[in-house]
């Protein structure tokens, strides 16, 4: 009787799961294992919204495995120690895991390899799980990774993507080893009221609906804030309840301009993964420094707190920041404009903004979050590092009738149309609203400060 361990990490699904497939093909029994990793839970990376979503994912994964005759084992502690314990409890000869790109994931792989191989257990690290195209699979002639999106997109698009694997019909799990109970999401405190539901079943439901009703309108609708026409699949990609390989095939088979635009966005995710894989330090350090001396001190802290609370006095910024707090999710256009506002207009260190996003985002992901923040801060791969987004222009362009602002900023709910984007221009007692803050900074002052700091004058 041969046994293999499948260590689940950011791949909490049964469909299109290469490690699971490989383990089932080569062993009589498998041990599907998830470790609530003390290393992550103590690192500050764990956040209530993601822990709650994770509970959904684990319960659903367990249910899916039980339908197939198996079950999920959940343990808590150091991931390497727990895998070792399972291996000795079951006599497993192989451990399968998905390849990761973060410094943490790579260190985990290294430590697992060391710990297992000295005991004669083989570790198999699988590509094509977290990203469709493995980081490093395509590179430019003179570097180990692409630093510009467009040439990466061309090469990435030309790669053959393997067919998606079906979910297994049956899974045999040895009776012996015990599991902790998976807590319900209700056991997590500090969770956003409007947090989405996790789990593979929910992910597949959303994928089907998206393919039927959302994809076709994606190209023209994806930047419209109030239209909310993005896929909202990002949490499922982050937790791996959906496979990027399957998503790409499903989108391409639907066809059309919407599908093309959507696949392009999936490629941005893979672009950032291949940058981080090549430059793991970019999760904390400037990818390409502009020698910024970001603002600090009490004055800056006050602005940061206004930004976090959605009380900057710039309605579209505040609307997006309040959506983040309420849903644990923010529209992509909102992410760009709020990040641009913090880094360029308030001239605050991108790490402070990135951390706030990680504290709340259900899809908070090291590669996407940190590198998109760097992109907006001008310290990343943006070819125009000094671009500044004007929040009033952004508001009028991407929320032309103001309904996104009215949805999230009740103080302005009575203001009609695009006038909601410039509340300081409103006159008369009907428009006197002392509960909505004055702008924390004049845009011209912010711009001047930024230009001076970057030596642009």
Residue number with CB closer to DNA (385 or 400): 385
Task: Give min distance, CB of 383 to DNA, in A.
Answer: 3
Contact status: 147 vs DNA (CB under 7 A): yes
Burial of residue 50, with CB atoms counted within 10 A of its CB: 0-12 exposed, 13-18 middle, 19 or more buried: buried
Task: Give min distance, CB of 40 to DNA, in A.
Answer: 28
Residue number with CB closer to DNA (149 or 350): 149
Per-residue burial over 194-211, b if 16 or more Cβ lie within 10 Å, else e, is ebbbbbbbbbbebbeebb
Q: How long is the chain? A: 457
**Cα diameter, the chain:** 81
Contact status: 232 vs DNA (CB under 7 A): no
- Phi, psi (degrees; rounded to nearest 5) at 428: 95, 160
Task: Give min distance, CB of 227 to DNA, in A.
Answer: 17
Task: Give min distance, CB of 103 to DNA, in A.
Answer: 21
Residues 154-183 close enough to bind DNA by CB under 7 A: 154-155
For 45, 299, 308, 355, 443, the CA distances from 302, given in Å and listed in that order, are 24, 5, 10, 17, 17
8 Å CB contact between 189 and 46:
no
Residue number with CB closer to DNA (136 or 151): 151
Contact status: 454 vs DNA (CB under 7 A): no
Contact status: 149 vs DNA (CB under 7 A): yes
d(CA 269, CA 330): 16
Contact pick of 34, 53, 146, 350 for DNA (by CB under 7 A): 146
Residue that has been written with the tokens 């030596």 in this structure: 455
8 Å CB contact between 400 and 424:
no
d(CA 9, CA 186): 22
Residue number with CB closer to DNA (268 or 294): 268
Binding track, positions 240-279, relative to DNA; x by CB under 7 A: ------------------------xx--x-----------
8 Å CB contact between 49 and 153:
no
Binding track, positions 278-317, relative to DNA; x by CB under 7 A: ----------x-----------------------------
Task: Give min distance, CB of 127 to DNA, in A.
Answer: 21
Q: Are strands 94-98 and 29-37 parallel, antiparallel or unpaired?
A: unpaired
Binding track, positions 125-144, relative to DNA; x by CB under 7 A: ---------------xxxx-
Tell me how many residues contact DNA (CB under 7 A): 19
Task: Give min distance, CB of 342 to DNA, in A.
Answer: 17
Residue number with CB closer to DNA (91 or 136): 136
Residue number with CB closer to DNA (154 or 284): 154
Burial of residue 265, with CB atoms counted within 10 A of its CB: 0-12 exposed, 13-18 middle, 19 or more buried: middle
Residue that has been written with the tokens 């904390």 in this structure: 284
Task: Give min distance, CB of 371 to DNA, in A.
Answer: 12
Paired tokens of 287: 């990818």
Residue number with CB closer to DNA (18 or 380): 380
8 Å CB contact between 316 and 391:
yes
Residue number with CB closer to DNA (143 or 438): 143
Task: Give min distance, CB of 83 to DNA, in A.
Answer: 36
Contact pick of 43, 88, 150, 301 for DNA (by CB under 7 A): 150
Residues 425-444 close enough to bind DNA by CB under 7 A: none
Paired tokens of 88: 């000795």
N-term to C-term CA, the chain: 73
Read off the DSSP letter of residue 418. G
d(CA 323, CA 329): 7
Contact status: 106 vs DNA (CB under 7 A): no
d(CA 34, CA 79): 9
8 Å CB contact between 98 and 70:
no
Task: Give min distance, CB of 27 to DNA, in A.
Answer: 41
Contact status: 151 vs DNA (CB under 7 A): yes
Task: Give min distance, CB of 385 to DNA, in A.
Answer: 8
Task: Give min distance, CB of 147 to DNA, in A.
Answer: 4
Contact status: 451 vs DNA (CB under 7 A): no
Query: Which has the closest alpha carbon to 423: 442, 408, 436, 406?
Result: 436
Residue number with CB closer to DNA (149 or 357): 149
Task: Give min distance, CB of 236 to DNA, in A.
Answer: 19
Distance between alpha carbon 301 and the CA centroid of its chain, in Å?
26
Element at 88 (helix H, strand E):
helix 79-90
Residues 367-396 close enough to bind DNA by CB under 7 A: 382-383
Q: Report the interface residues with DNA, using CB under 7 A.
A: 140-143, 146-152, 154-155, 264-265, 268, 288, 382-383
């Amino acid at each position: 009787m041969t046994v293999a361990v499948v260590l689940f990490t950011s791949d909490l699904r049964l469909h299109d799961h290469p490690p699971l497939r490989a383990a089932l093909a080569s062993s009589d029994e498998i041990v599907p294992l998830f470790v609530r990793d003390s290393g992550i839970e103590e690192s500050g990376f764990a956040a209530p919204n993601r822990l709650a979503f994770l509970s959904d994912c684990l319960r659903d994964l367990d249910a899916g495995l039980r339908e197939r005759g198996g079950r999920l084992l959940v343990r808590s502690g150091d991931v390497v120690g727990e895998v070792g314990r399972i291996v000795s409890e079951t006599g497993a000869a192989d451990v399968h895991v998905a390849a990761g790109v973060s410094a943490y994931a790579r260190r985990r792989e290294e430590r697992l390899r060391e710990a297992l191989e000295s005991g004669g257990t083989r570790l198999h690290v699988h590509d094509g799980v977290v990203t469709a195209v493995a980081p490093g699979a395509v590179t430019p002639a003179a570097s180990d990774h692409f630093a510009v999106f467009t040439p990466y997109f061309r090469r990435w698009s030309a790669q053959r993507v393997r067919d998606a694997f079906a979910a297994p019909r049956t899974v045999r799990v040895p009776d012996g080893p015990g599991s902790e109970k998976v807590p319900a999401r209700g056991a997590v405190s500090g969770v956003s009221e409007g947090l989405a539901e996790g789990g593979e079943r929910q992910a597949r439901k959303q994928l089907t609906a998206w393919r039927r009703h959302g994809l076709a309108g994606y190209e023209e609708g994806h930047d419209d804030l109030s239209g909310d026409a993005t896929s909202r699949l990002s949490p499922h990609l982050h937790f791996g309840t959906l496979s990027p390989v399957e998503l790409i095939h499903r989108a391409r088979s639907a066809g059309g301009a919407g599908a093309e635009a959507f696949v392009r966005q999936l490629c941005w995710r893979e672009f950032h993964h291949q940058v981080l894989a090549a430059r793991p330090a970019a999760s904390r350090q400037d990818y390409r420094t502009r020698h910024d001396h970001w603002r600090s001190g009490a004055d800056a802290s006050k602005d940061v707190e206004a930004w976090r609370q959605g009380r900057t006095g710039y309605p579209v910024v505040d609307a997006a920041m309040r959506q983040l707090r309420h849903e644990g999710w923010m529209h992509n256009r909102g992410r760009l404009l709020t990040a641009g506002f913090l880094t360029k207009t308030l001239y605050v260190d991108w790490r402070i903004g990135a951390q706030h996003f990680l504290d709340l985002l259900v899809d908070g992901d090291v590669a996407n979050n940190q590198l998109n923040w760097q992109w907006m801060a001008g310290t990343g791969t943006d070819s125009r590092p000094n671009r500044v987004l004007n929040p009033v222009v952004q508001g009028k362009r991407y929320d032309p009738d103001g309904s996104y602002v009215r949805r999230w900023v009740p103080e302005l709910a009575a203001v009609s149309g695009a006038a909601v984007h410039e509340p300081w221009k409103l006159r008369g007692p009907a428009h006197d609203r002392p509960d909505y803050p004055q702008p924390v900074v004049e845009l011209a002052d912010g711009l001047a400060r930024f230009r001076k700091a970057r030596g642009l004058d």
